[in-house]
Amino acid sequence: MQDLLSIVGEQARTTSPLEAMAVALGIAYLLLAIRQNIWCWLCAGVYTAIYVYLFVDAKLYMESVLNLFYFAMAIYGWHTWYYGRTGSGELPVVVWSLAVHAAAIGVVICISAANGYLLTLYTDAAFPYIDSLTTWSAIWATFLVARKVFENWYYWLVIDAASIVIYWLRDLQLTSLLYVVFVAMIPFGIVAWRRSWRQQQA
């Protein structure tokens, strides 16, 4: 434990201001998303723009492309949450069928395998297959957040857990710790969104 704290302390001293800002905005995004606050999308737009640059520098090219997508989805998410409001003032939380999720997971795995193979052939990408799988999974999960689909939280639990390892191994320790925080916060999102969905059903 002492060694881990020493590593974290050293990383904090050497972390770029950009990464520190991205981490802070990432935490703000998730806190606001749990509360279904539309301002989460503003935080998402800024922190993902920062990570586009950081991941290119770390040779995590698919993660960089993913954050370009996140930026676009921040705009889409704001639009959907704003114009999808009902009389209660919020876009309602919805639940999608297991069949839809099973089909989506199958498509994500196939695309990720092809993407990982191409990265292996044509780039010096680190962890091409895992990088591709987390990227395409996150694209699907982000769409679910924008549509306020409850099951998005379970996807993020797996994606964020894998991201912790990837970022740590690529010397993005502070970002890795951000994802530790994300994983710890996800159960709160599950509880809050489930409660909201049940209230809507009632």
- Give tens-digit pLDDT for 155-184: 999 999 999 998 888 777 887 888 999 999
Q: What is the pTM of this model?
A: 0.84
**Total count of domains within the chain:** 1
Sequence-distant (6+) residues with CB within 8 A of 36 are: 81, 90, 93, 148, 192, 193, 196
Specify the pLDDT at position 57: 85
- Average pLDDT (72-96) is 87
Summarize pLDDT for 33-80 with one digit per residue, the tens.
999 999 999 999 999 999 898 888 877 787 788 889 889 999 999 999
Contact (CB, 8 A) for 76 and 64? no
Answer with the residue of higher pLDDT: 63 or 197.
197
Parent domain of 39: 2-201
